[in-house]
Chain A
């Protein structure tokens, strides 16, 4: 065997926090996100020996997390009252409860694709090419979905921010996935 794959523990250590962010952004800040995280890493552990050594591990993990988030949502909806809803309507993923404020209130109102595109690009750090591979469609469509998502988040969140403390303005930006870091 020529395989020089790193121990899986390093994958958890390096990418665990990022994947949890992505799961939370897509599902909301509650236990559904942790369920999706656990299922993602369990599936990743199972498949790890067969992943090509030159694969983009983070994109691979976010792809798994994308599917697991959908599984978690479907499972939950099976236990809920069924509602007619078109896929491109307001997100059915991790709708915040009515008490959600600030950024979560805004995130909860995004269409699913925009919410996913924002999460995978801005929190997962994936270039739009990878985001497109996960969501289907073109790279341009992925870029547009993220831009639209950011625009409506900004509109809604700025309104919500009037009830916030405003301390966010003082925070330095030290992020991965900010525009320009991952040209696609």
Chain B
């Protein structure tokens, strides 16, 4: 391609450069990433921090802004898509930074262990607005171990005819588990939909009945 000899030793040389600058040690990259998380947090650049935790309903993604927990997502929602949506709707400064999620992760763990019946976390409702936000803010009034119908929630928010809108507010709850949309059932007592799927809803309701 250029002025080099026909007997070109460049690939070997470049290989040696690659070997000499080897980055395959995962511990080094992890350490550098931790440092980036800490410095980003220090400089106020950690707009969206996230982590994933293992739970009885599968891996949950937890994401927080500096205002509070902004998103809880089930694996079936596709965590990559959820992060892309956070990037577009909140800020593209999205970084895996588990430390900021420590309090949320601890409370979710306690909830699944049956040792917590209410969450005490700052929430950021940036992903909801209007009637959906109103509904989601009232969901925590349905106490642990209890359920309500979509119609009852509509009455609770002072709009008894908005049963379908309550349904879509529950379906689009950006903070499932923590904001208990799983406690809302159809008026005939059947399960209704759930962002985490029917099995997850059954698991959460069963957990709360047993505790």
Give A17 to B14 CA distance when docked, in angstroms. Answer: 16
Note all chain B residues with C-beta closer than 8 A to A158.
Answer: 9
Contact A9 B96 (CB under 8 A): yes
Task: Count contacts on B: residues with CB < 8 A to the other chain.
Answer: 42
- Asked if B189 is at the interface of the complex by the 8 Å CB criterion, the answer is no
Out of B19, B45, B50, B84, name the residue touching A45 (CB < 8 Å): B45
Give A157 to B20 CA distance when docked, in angstroms. Answer: 12
Q: Which of B48, B87, B92 has the most CB of A within 10 A?
A: B92
Contact B19 A123 (CB under 8 A): no
- Asked if B210 is at the interface of the complex by the 8 Å CB criterion, the answer is no
B94-115 vs A, CB cutoff 8 Å, 1 = contact: the mask equals: 1110000000000000000000
Note all chain A residues with C-beta closer than 8 A to B32.
Answer: 16, 20, 34, 37-38
- The verdict on A154 contacting B95 (CB below 8 Å), with A12-B33, A46-B45 known, is no
Give A175 to B91 CA distance when docked, in angstroms. Answer: 34
Give A180 to B18 CA distance when docked, in angstroms. Answer: 17
- Asked if A74 is at the interface of the complex by the 8 Å CB criterion, the answer is no
- Asked if B83 is at the interface of the complex by the 8 Å CB criterion, the answer is yes
Note all chain A residues with C-beta closer than 8 A to B45.
Answer: 42, 45-46
Contact A5 B11 (CB under 8 A): no
- The verdict on A38 contacting B9 (CB below 8 Å), with A7-B92, A17-B23, A103-B20 known, is no
Give A171 to B20 CA distance when docked, in angstroms. Answer: 13
- The verdict on A48 contacting B93 (CB below 8 Å), with A20-B23, A179-B2 known, is yes
B21-39, CB < 8 A from A: 21, 23, 28-29, 32-33, 35-36, 39
A4-57, CB < 8 A from B: 4-9, 12, 16-17, 20-22, 24-25, 29, 34, 37-38, 41-42, 45-46, 48-49
Contact B92 A6 (CB under 8 A): yes
Contact A5 B88 (CB under 8 A): yes
Contact B18 A8 (CB under 8 A): no
Give A25 to B22 CA distance when docked, in angstroms. Answer: 10
Give A46 to B50 CA distance when docked, in angstroms. Answer: 18
Contact A1 B88 (CB under 8 A): yes
Q: How far is the CB of A43 from chain B (nearest CB, A)?
A: 10
Contact B40 A173 (CB under 8 A): no
- Asked if A122 is at the interface of the complex by the 8 Å CB criterion, the answer is yes
Out of B19, B28, B40, B87, name the residue touching A5 (CB < 8 Å): B87
Contact A157 B13 (CB under 8 A): yes
Task: List the 4 closest pairs (A to B, CB-CB), nearest first.
Answer: A7-B94, A17-B23, A24-B21, A21-B21
